Amino acid sequence: MQTMQKSLDEIYQENLQFWDKAWQRVSKPHKELPKLPYIHELTRKLKKYQVKKVLDLGCGSGWLSIFISKYGFDVTGIDASKPAIDLGKIWAEEENLNVNFLACDLLNIPFKENSFDAIVCNSVLEHFRFDQAKIIFETIHKILSEKGFLFGCFDKVGTGKGEYFELEDSTHIYTDEIRKGMMLRNYSDEELKTLMKDFDILSFDKNSYGSRLVWTRKK
């Protein structure tokens, strides 16, 4: 394990550069849906609770935003990587769907209070330090409407091969060629529940890969 010689800000910027480079290598939207059974249940719940406006946090090239928008929801997808957002825009245009894709950092979400009825987030929180995750959850709480919903899939990560050094809060910073700069942090169940202290947890399930599928409602 190497020791940390860079500032937290430099490390964070390098993480953003990692994502930009990763998405720059993708030349067209990958349209095959991941095999995640929960997504069908998710749209059923959004319909049941008469959700209209949905925000997809860290949407990548937009598969979840696109999927949800096909059910008639008003969807906004945000991601720090402009190349990813550009792919989402191309995809939405090709399918004649009206999804609002926007490049922005989750630490600087530009929406006002009560902007969304539901927020979804698939495999994104794992790329933030714990102190940053707290900021994101505070923002999510603010921009959700009264009794708005939050659905998150939080993966079990950091157990595979790879070279990295660790920050004080156990965030891994990868140094190997493939993931150089990427931040990755494994969140325990308890930490997730702490982050969601201002939400009622409606269900907290684990799939066979150890991912936590969490469905919550703003208190």
Ligand X SMILES: C[S@@+](CC[C@H](N)C(=O)[O-])C[C@H]1O[C@@H](n2cnc3c(N)ncnc32)[C@H](O)[C@@H]1O
Which residues form the interface with ligand X (CB under 6 A)?
A: 19, 58-60, 63-64, 79-81, 84, 105-107, 122-124, 127
- Residue closer to ligand X by CB (options 3, 154) is 154
Q: State the nearest-atom distance from the C-beta of 40 to ligand X, in Å.
A: 15
Q: How far is the CB of 146 from ligand X (least distance, A)?
A: 26
Cβ burial, residue 126 (10 Å; 0-12/13-18/19+): buried
In the complex with ligand X, the residue whose CB is nearer, 4 or 107, is 107
User: Minimum distance between the CB of residue 182 and ligand X, rounded to whole angstroms?
Assistant: 9
Closest to 38 measured CA to CA, from 187, 203, 149? 203
**From CA 154, how far away is CA 201, in angstroms rounded?**
14
In the complex with ligand X, the residue whose CB is nearer, 146 or 160, is 160
> Minimum distance from CB of 139 to ligand X (Å)?
11
Q: Least distance from C-beta 80 to ligand X, angstroms? A: 3
What is the Cα–Cα distance from 183 to 185, expressed in whole angstroms? Answer: 7
86/105 with CB nearer ligand X: 105
Query: Which residue, 120 or 196, has its beta carbon nearer to ligand X?
Result: 120
Q: Using CB atoms, what's the residue nearest to ligand X?
A: 60
DSSP E strands, the chain? 53-57, 74-79, 100-103, 116-122, 144-154, 164-166, 172-174, 183-184, 199-206, 212-218
Q: How far is Cα 173 from Cα 139, in angstroms, rounded to an integer?
A: 25
Using left for φ > 0, alpha for ψ between -120 and 50, and beta otherwise, residue 68 falls in alpha
Per the listing, tokens 């550009």 go with 86
In the sheet that holds 212-218, the strands lie side by side as 100-103, 74-79, 53-57, 116-122, 144-154, 212-218, 199-206
Looking at the Cβ atoms of 146 and 209, the one nearer to ligand X is 209
Structure tokens belonging to residue 94? 């090709």
Minimum Å gap between C-beta 39 and ligand X is: 10
